[in-house]
């Protein structure tokens, strides 16, 4: 049996405080325990004149699906943008939520625990 999770990824546009949806990441856990991540920028994001690439080497702008198997299928730029353990504790405290709310999302349990804003 395989399982799949997805997360929409938002970006804060350069020189603004606006965040917009930019991409979709789907991560599938295969029967053998390996992970395959599939990343694609959204069409509307690609139409923007102010669209920026998340990583010029691994995630250049384009409408193709990029696959990742390292880091449990999560691209490095996406993983780096997500909060670490301390950041998750700060968010839990601020939202007055109990520890462990991050485990409810399968994609979160695969790597960092939120859909990041880059």
Chain centroid to CA 1: 23
Q: What percent of the chain has pLDDT over 70?
A: 82
Q: What is the pLDDT of residues 30-77, one digit of tens each?
A: 999 999 999 999 999 999 999 999 999 999 999 999 999 999 999 999
Report the candidate in 4, 105, 27 with the shortest Cα–Cα distance to residue 73.
27
Q: Report the alpha-carbon distance of residue 112 to residue 93 in Å, rounded.
A: 18
Q: What is the pTM of this model?
A: 0.76
Model pLDDT, residue 102:
53
Residue 54 burial (10 A CB sphere; 0-12, 13-18, 19+): buried
pLDDT score of 109 more than 70:
no
């Amino acid at each position: 049996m395989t399982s799949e999770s997805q997360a929409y990824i938002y970006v804060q546009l350069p020189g603004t405080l606006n965040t917009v949806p930019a991409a979709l990441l789907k991560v599938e856990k295969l029967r053998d325990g390996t992970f395959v991540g599939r990343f694609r920028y959204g069409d509307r994001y690609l139409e923007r004149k102010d669209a920026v690439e998340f990583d010029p080497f691994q995630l250049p702008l384009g409408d193709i699906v990029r696959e990742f198997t390292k880091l449990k299928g999560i691209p490095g730029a996406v993983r780096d943008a997500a909060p670490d353990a301390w950041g998750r504790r700060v968010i839990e405290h601020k939202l007055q939520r109990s520890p462990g709310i991050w485990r409810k999302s399968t994609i979160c349990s695969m790597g960092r625990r939120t859909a990041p804003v880059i």
